Chain A
Amino acid sequence: MANGNALLDARDVTIRFGGLTAVSHFNLGIQPHELVGLIGPNGAGKTTVFNMLTGVYKPTEGQIFVGGVSTHDFKPYQITALGMARTFQNIRLFKELSVLDNVKIGGHIHYKYSAAAAVLKTNRFHEAEEAAEHDAIELLKIFGLENRAGYYAKNLPYGDQRRLEIARALSAQPKLLLLDEPAAGLNDRETRDLLQTIRDIHKRFDIAILVIEHNMELVMELCERIVVLNFGKTIAQGTPGQVRENPVVIEAYLGEPAEAAGI
């Protein structure tokens, strides 16, 4: 069995695509309320790890436990129900739906009922809809989006779309939130704001957060613990300070030192 109270426990996870080993012997445990960063240069296997955690890919070897349950035969939607929600690197909002509906759909697992209840508008329908509406508005307020609840998601500015995506993921009331390159495409000021937002929700919702980024600075400033991937292998792990000083990490990001390369 998995480590008792770990929210996420990836053990010796390996995935191969044909002959290519994209990620090998990856280990990661996340405890409640931790803020963990997963970094690595382009092509290091960050997104592949992410896709395995969320159930898009099945690991060739090894096991992943979410809340103590092995997710090997789970589909992505079942993993979400275990208390893990995610955002996407290239924003995947429901563009033609309102901001409010986006957040409501995020909470689908908590407010669903049968089609018959929907058609007959039973008491269950009214209760669930009121709760969904109330919770969605509350979330939008936290993100300062309540005035735009009626907008189409596609009409929001880019930075707000990012925030809406986080709001939508939080609407599932997860214990663990996975953020896939949340700062991609944001300018410095927006990145600052985002940093603050992530800190706020980390405190307010008392959840664990795993951030995947290749923006070193953001992760260094935000996370308590950092895992560094390169070529599918974990090359370093530790506090931001430790990782920053680690020669292997510096090499991965900046290339080999001049003398070692024989120049």
Chain B
Amino acid sequence: MTKSLPWWLRDLLWLALFVAVLVGLAYGLDAIPIVGMAYYNRILVLMGINITLAVSLNIINGHAGQFSLGHAGFMAVGAYFSAYLTFYHFAPRLDKMPAGTEQWLMQNVFLVIAVLCGGLLAALAGYLVGLPSLRLRGDYLAIVTLGFGEIIRVFILNIDKIGAARGFSGIPHWGNFFWVFLVCGLAIVISWRLVQSSVGRAFLAVREDQVAAEAMGIDTTRYKVKAFVIGSFLAGVAGGLYAHYTMYLNPQTFMFVKSFEVVAMVVLGGLGSISGSVVAAVILTFLPEGLRSVKDYMPGGRDPRMVIYSIMLIVLMLTRPQGLFGRRELWQVFGRKKKRDQSEAPPVQ
């Protein structure tokens, strides 16, 4: 069905299919009669947000090779800006409308607008941070982006209108499973299609050898900034959904620790591997939750959760320093066992 249809129709059909599956899943999950389903649902949604964050950071760190430690900053920009729009502009307008289908429809339209605006502002921030990366490499860039993330946080901490240190509460609960996983799916597709294109090849070339990339006619500056803009846009969108799901934002959430968490996902999955980022995001979201019950078996009820979590990270990095899948994708790693991957085979002389 793919070749004969025009590109936009083909993509629309796939999107429609994806939406239908998500709607089905969303209703299905609500219908499961387990105690604490709300808790599992929440973890699932946070997992979706984490996947989006990891995949978006992977574009910057993994594909373009620009080590950024400011992802929480971009997420914060998207989260706060979209929450601001909703809280001060959209929600009051929605409240005036009579309840019903029309209101429900407008709510989702407002959500999309708010989240997209949040993403766009985050993209602008990404552009501004991308600019110094023209000059800085490696560690230096990491420190600049780390500083940038903190600047954003401190900036937010001093704006009273969005709650300052108290946190921003009262954001309406518009985000849900459906929207989070729609965005998550789109982020994965965007990232995948980019890396399969000339844009993605330019990213990879910049990562591999900047001098050679420049000699091949690649405007390295432009592509670095491009990676930052795309990555931070997706992070901003993820942040917007996070705000509309948790209904409360606190500057503490967007400390550099959050950035490290996302970096850990990307590195653990394998820098540059999209499926690696997804799998690592799933593991690192579930692991701390799954370890909650360990406490019950400990003397004195101490909670060794974070200790186990850290030890597992260390062990993983010691045994697989290149990450779970290295630079390859899930199917390439497992497909290799049956049929040796050509790119891995030693050259025949």
Chain A residues in the interface with B (C-beta under 8 A)? 54, 56, 75-77, 80-81, 85-86, 88, 92-98, 101, 104-106, 108-109, 111-115, 117-123, 125-126, 128-129, 132, 148, 150-152, 155-157, 160, 168, 172
Chain B residues in the interface with A (C-beta under 8 A)? 7-8, 11, 189-190, 193-194, 196-202, 204-205, 208-209, 211-220, 226, 230, 327, 342-347, 349
The answer for the CA separation of A148 and B346 in the assembled complex, in Å, is 10
* 16 sampled A-B residue pairs with Cβ under 8 A: A77-B218, A80-B216, A92-B211, A95-B208, A105-B205, A113-B199, A115-B230, A118-B194, A118-B197, A118-B198, A121-B11, A125-B197, A151-B342, A152-B343, A155-B346, A157-B349
A-B contact count (CB 8 A): 126
Shortest A37–chain B CB gap in Å is: 21
A54 engages B215 (CB within 8 Å): yes
B191 and chain A: residue at smallest CB distance: A119
The answer for the CA separation of A77 and B349 in the assembled complex, in Å, is 35
Q: Provide the residues of chain A in CB contact with B193, threshold 8 Å.
A: 118-119, 121
Q: Provide the residues of chain A in CB contact with B8, threshold 8 Å.
A: 120
Shortest B330–chain A CB gap in Å is: 18
A77 engages B219 (CB within 8 Å): yes
Of B196, B208, B215, the residue contacting A76 (CB under 8 A) is B215
B215 engages A86 (CB within 8 Å): yes
B218 engages A120 (CB within 8 Å): no
Q: Provide the residues of chain A in CB contact with B201, threshold 8 Å.
A: 97, 101, 104-105, 108
The answer for the CA separation of A155 and B209 in the assembled complex, in Å, is 17
Of A108, A128, A152, the residue contacting B216 (CB under 8 A) is A108
A121 engages B208 (CB within 8 Å): no
Shortest B205–chain A CB gap in Å is: 5
B198 engages A108 (CB within 8 Å): yes
Q: Provide the residues of chain B in CB contact with A76, threshold 8 Å.
A: 214-215
A97 engages B197 (CB within 8 Å): no
A93 engages B212 (CB within 8 Å): yes
The answer for the CA separation of A98 and B347 in the assembled complex, in Å, is 13
Closest 6 CB pairs of A and B: A118-B197, A80-B217, A94-B208, A150-B342, A109-B217, A92-B212
A119 engages B194 (CB within 8 Å): yes
Known A-B contacts A96-B327, A129-B197; the reply to A157 vs B217 at CB < 8 A is: no
Shortest A159–chain B CB gap in Å is: 10
Q: Provide the residues of chain B in CB contact with A106, threshold 8 Å.
A: 216
The answer for the CA separation of A217 and B273 in the assembled complex, in Å, is 47
The answer for the CA separation of A125 and B196 in the assembled complex, in Å, is 11
